[in-house]
Chain A
Amino acid sequence: MLNNFPLWPEQASTMARNVDALYIFLLIVTGMMTLLIFVCLIYFAARFRYRPGVRAEQIEGSTPLEITWSAIPFVVFMVIFAWGAVVYFKERTPPTDSAEIYIVAKQWMWKVEHAEGQREINELHVPVGRDVKLIMTSQDVIHSFFIPAFRIKQDVLPGRYTVEWFRATKPGVYHLFCAEYCGTQHSGMVGDIVVQEPAQYEAWMNGGSTGPLSATGEKIFAELGCVTCHRTDTQGRGPNLQGVFGKPVQLEDGRTVNADENYLRECILDPGAKRVKGFQPIMPTFQGLVTEEQVNALVAYIKSISAAKPGGAVKASAAAPQEEKAQASGSQVQ
């Protein structure tokens, strides 16, 4: 019976422990506040009930009491606030050496692309004990990537990337929900997070892949003709993209932006918005010409040529997708 009647979600990520600890603290604190108020209410209601001949005693109020019961809750609230903020900061700050997985949401499915080239729909395989960063976007409306067992959730927006990360701690199959209402089949936009031991995960990963995402990106980069302007020397009509990712970029209008995933994405879809200093506005927009998956592949490719020395390093990291460190050096994003 109780198997079918759980009262606490499974705890399967490092974040789950942090969130549960704060949750239990809050249960205790608010439980005590509730008890205090209810005991007073019930005691007063019983003790001071109407008795013929006994009149109420008028009390104007008490400023010291008012200050006490404003200040004490305020201090308690600040403790909760600070603790909640610490947990949230961890939640919103992916470790720099996380493995990266691209997620594209659409009405009503989750499309997953691993850096190694594996694709999945409504399923996400991850190894236990490794930091995983999800780089997510939506093709249509707002969705939200929610894994209760990991205690994480992040809205997935059209037109930009949002990021969430986790480190799974327990092998198993966990729910994936869309948590932001997205239309008719919103409640059908669910899936499974499959957490595997590293060995099993590798076996799964080696079964039938189309090659790494960055290699797909390189192919698209050539097919769309990007290479003709974005050359690997200084002669191109567009900026040389090697080493650009994660670095500050001087813009024509005088601003400086950090070349993160969202910036690369914007440059592909709306090249005029943040044009690099010293270049002409000649790049056409690729809005509508490339799918979200292709944008992801292009971004993955540009990231892959950023940490590496010019030349063969792309191939090197692509050839060794299982090596975390090679991956890590390719993603020096916050």
Chain B
Amino acid sequence: MSMPNPMPQPERENYLNKKYGVWSWLLTTDHKRIALLYLISITFFFFIGGFFALLIRLELLTPAGDLVQADTYNKLFTMHGMVMVFFFLIPSIPAVLGNFLVPMMIGAKDLAFPRINLLSWYLYIIGGVLMLHCMLTGGVDTGWTFYAPYSTNFTNTKIVEAGIAIFIAGFSSILTGLNFVVTIHRMRAPGMTWSRLPLFIWAHYATSIIQLLGTPVIAVTIVLVAAESALHLGIFDPKLGGDPLLFQHLFWFYSHPAVYIMILPSMGIISEIIACFSRKRIFGYSFVAFSSIAIAVFGFLVWAHHMFVAGMSVYAALVFSLLSYAVAVPSAIKVFNWTATLYKGSIHYDAPMLYAFGFLGLFTIGGLTGLFLAALGINVHVTDTYFVVAHFHYIMVGGAVMGYLGGMHFWWPKISGRLYPEGWARLAALIVFIGFNLTFFPQFLLGYMGMPRRYYDYSHMPEFQILNVLSTAGATVLGVGYLLPMVYFLWSMRYGKPAPDNPWNAAGLEWKTASPPTTFNFEEEPVVTWEAYNYEELDAPDKDAPHSEEVPVAR
């Protein structure tokens, strides 16, 4: 376990140095240690998924299918999707930063069910190992969407094993959601009322509701797929008397809300960062908080907007298009409130804030292109093309991953007790932003021109090559941008300057703990007497150590 070595000077006891040894980690019930276990595991899967993405982009450098075989390519994009969605994006923020911060932010010693929290990590690992085994022994080629009847009766790849892996990982997600809901309801410190909760908590509360209510549906769907492909029960395949559209309804009933599992926690992080680095209370706190809940609720009612050309009734399509515009409103409310928070602020440009700015730019573009897709007439043309690919990467990578990285930088001093190198971090934020746009913006153009997604060979339409070359070039830049933080985070664990308890002079209970915190977070149970984001008090002139660029930053 590559945790920071004990410092030469006598160090305070904290959750990292309290115990050593493999078992102190593998049997821990400390939410912070479990968060780190998750961090290591999801980072592993992120780079596997990223490697698949790199191979996909390399194949598309030339129109002909020349780098890999068609079947290999189909497996690459399938496994890229499955790994990134189920083993990176869904657990990323909730299981790492959420796990680490939810108890601390509400003033609790741990989550409500520490052992279940550990169990959820083990389920994730069992699912992950199965997925790895599945990939190493042949993989799956159905696309991460598993559309029947291709997945149930036509593919000869390892669909059942992949299904079981996702089924098990799904339970890890359900347990995390359950833990958060109970913790947020029952374990808030005295004085920590609902209206004083950080927006990070509101976002995680909304996310947990989706995890609890949505994930069982994908589990049911997987069981039905397995039943049809193993036992030839007629559920989805019309040859056996089934209905292929039923599969799509079930699949998207989970997988659309799953998008909000990925983006909502990221929105929570952005609220924390923007408040801290503009030294202000978030503009319209209650609107931002309730918009998270609104997104979670409306998010369950829009699933069939993935199916406008699937053979569904025209009238059903009208309803789902209308509701899709309804879910866009709370997202717009958030963006406007974040922007308004900057007004008359005192804005610092530390790396987390650069990621937050990046998030705002990319999420705005991702969200607004969603308006194109929700418009029925345009959807018919652009669905299943690179327009969709670009759109959801702007949300899930531009939005969710930018927020995740911003959060990792923001809380890294708390997690590791060390400061990361600020200059490198700002550079990485810039590289990620540029690389991302170069990768995915050309894909909007490709999509409107009609390039279908999941095409291994586009020699029939060589006019698409230039945009594909741009996209591949961007992916290379993006890859560098993602490797950098990993390198300097690891570097900082050994060589970074020790972090003060509150390097950003930020509001929030987590900053009132030590860096890194002790096992039970607080010496004694805190009593909250202030509102969230009380930056006015923190920056009051009589307070010592006001926030300034020099104090917390390592070179």
Binding site for B on A (CB under 8 A): 4-9, 18-19, 22-23, 26, 29-30, 33-34, 37-38, 40-41, 44-45, 48-52, 54-62, 65-66, 69-70, 73-74, 77-78, 80-81, 83-89, 91-92, 107, 140-142, 144, 146, 148-149, 151-155, 157-160, 162, 175, 177-188, 190
- Flag whether B129 is at the interface (Cβ < 8 A): no
Residues of A within 8 A of B147 (CB): 141-142, 180-181
Contact A65 B340 (CB under 8 A): yes
Nearest chain A CB to B349's CB is how many angstroms away?
7
Nearest chain A CB to B323's CB is how many angstroms away?
10
Number of interface residues of B (CB under 8 A): 98
Cα A183 to Cα B70 in complex, Å, equals 9
- Flag whether B154 is at the interface (Cβ < 8 A): yes
- Flag whether B138 is at the interface (Cβ < 8 A): no
- Flag whether B27 is at the interface (Cβ < 8 A): no
Contact A77 B328 (CB under 8 A): yes
- Which of chain B's residues has its CB closest to A143's CB? B150
Known: A44-B343, A84-B376. A7 touches B449 (CB 8 A): yes
Cα A34 to Cα B127 in complex, Å, equals 41
Most buried by A among B74, B368, B376, B536: B376
Given contact pairs A37-B336, A59-B283, A186-B455, a sample of 17 additional A-B residue pairs in the complex whose CB atoms are under 8 Å apart: A7-B445, A41-B339, A50-B348, A58-B281, A59-B281, A60-B285, A74-B329, A77-B325, A88-B317, A141-B147, A142-B244, A151-B380, A153-B309, A154-B380, A181-B150, A184-B71, A187-B457
Q: Which residues between 306 and 327 of chain B lie within 8 Å of chain A, taking CB atoms?
A: 308-311, 314, 317-318, 321-322, 325
Nearest chain A CB to B103's CB is how many angstroms away?
28
Cα A58 to Cα B465 in complex, Å, equals 51
Contact A48 B347 (CB under 8 A): yes
Cα A78 to Cα B328 in complex, Å, equals 11
Contact A44 B342 (CB under 8 A): yes
Cα A52 to Cα B549 in complex, Å, equals 10
The majority secondary structure among interface residues of chain B is helix
Known: A41-B339, A48-B346, A144-B384. A5 touches B466 (CB 8 A): yes
Cα A185 to Cα B284 in complex, Å, equals 52
Cα A333 to Cα B308 in complex, Å, equals 22
> Contact check: which of B244, B385, B445, B458 meets A187 at CB < 8 Å?
B458
- Flag whether B441 is at the interface (Cβ < 8 A): no
Residues of B within 8 A of A57 (CB): 280, 344-345
Cα A62 to Cα B283 in complex, Å, equals 8
Contact B333 A81 (CB under 8 A): no
Contact A26 B378 (CB under 8 A): yes
Nearest chain B CB to A276's CB is how many angstroms away?
21
Known: A9-B448, A144-B309, A146-B384. A73 touches B329 (CB 8 A): yes
Contact B452 A37 (CB under 8 A): no
> Contact check: which of B142, B280, B347 meets A49 at CB < 8 Å?
B347
Known: A55-B346, A81-B321. A87 touches B377 (CB 8 A): yes
> Contact check: which of B143, B280, B365 meets A34 at CB < 8 Å?
B365
> Contact check: which of B65, B339, B377, B453 meets A91 at CB < 8 Å?
B377
Cα A146 to Cα B347 in complex, Å, equals 49
Of the A-B pairs whose beta carbons lie under 8 Å apart in the complex, a sample of 29, sorted by A's number, is: A9-B448, A19-B378, A26-B378, A34-B365, A41-B339, A44-B339, A44-B347, A50-B346, A50-B348, A51-B346, A56-B345, A57-B345, A61-B283, A70-B329, A73-B332, A80-B375, A83-B375, A88-B314, A88-B377, A141-B154, A146-B384, A151-B380, A152-B380, A155-B309, A159-B238, A178-B452, A183-B141, A183-B155, A187-B65
- Which of chain B's residues has its CB closest to A270's CB? B241
Known: A40-B339, A80-B371. A142 touches B150 (CB 8 A): yes
Known: A9-B450, A23-B448. A18 touches B377 (CB 8 A): yes
Most buried by A among B71, B335, B340: B340
Known: A5-B463, A81-B325, A190-B460. A45 touches B357 (CB 8 A): yes
Residues of A within 8 A of B239 (CB): 158-159
Residues of A within 8 A of B286 (CB): 61
Residues of A within 8 A of B378 (CB): 19, 22-23, 26, 84, 87
Known: A177-B452, A181-B454, A186-B74. A54 touches B150 (CB 8 A): no
Contact A50 B347 (CB under 8 A): yes
Known: A55-B539, A84-B378, A159-B238. A37 touches B346 (CB 8 A): no
Residues of A within 8 A of B339 (CB): 37, 40-41, 44
Nearest first, the 7 A-B pairs at minimum CB distance are A148-B450, A159-B238, A87-B377, A84-B375, A88-B376, A61-B284, A44-B342
Residues of B within 8 A of A181 (CB): 74, 142-143, 145, 147, 150, 453-454
Contact B375 A26 (CB under 8 A): yes
Cα A301 to Cα B285 in complex, Å, equals 67
B 350-387 binary contact with A (CB < 8 Å = 1; else 0): 00000001001100110011011011111111011100
Residues of B within 8 A of A175 (CB): 450, 460-461
Cα A45 to Cα B339 in complex, Å, equals 9
Contact A45 B342 (CB under 8 A): yes
Cα A218 to Cα B501 in complex, Å, equals 86
Contact B347 A73 (CB under 8 A): no
Nearest chain B CB to A188's CB is how many angstroms away?
7
Contact A186 B311 (CB under 8 A): no
Contact B380 A184 (CB under 8 A): no
B 266-301 binary contact with A (CB < 8 Å = 1; else 0): 000000000000111101111100000000000000
- Flag whether B420 is at the interface (Cβ < 8 A): no
Cα A59 to Cα B342 in complex, Å, equals 10
- Flag whether B198 is at the interface (Cβ < 8 A): no
Nearest chain B CB to A162's CB is how many angstroms away?
5
Contact B344 A56 (CB under 8 A): yes
- Flag whether B456 is at the interface (Cβ < 8 A): yes
- Which of chain A's residues has its CB closest to B65's CB? A187
Residues of B within 8 A of A190 (CB): 460-461
Cα A30 to Cα B369 in complex, Å, equals 8
Residues of A within 8 A of B448 (CB): 8-9, 23
Contact B457 A183 (CB under 8 A): no
Residues of A within 8 A of B150 (CB): 141-142, 181-183
> Contact check: which of B344, B454, B462 meets A186 at CB < 8 Å?
B454
Cα A23 to Cα B311 in complex, Å, equals 23
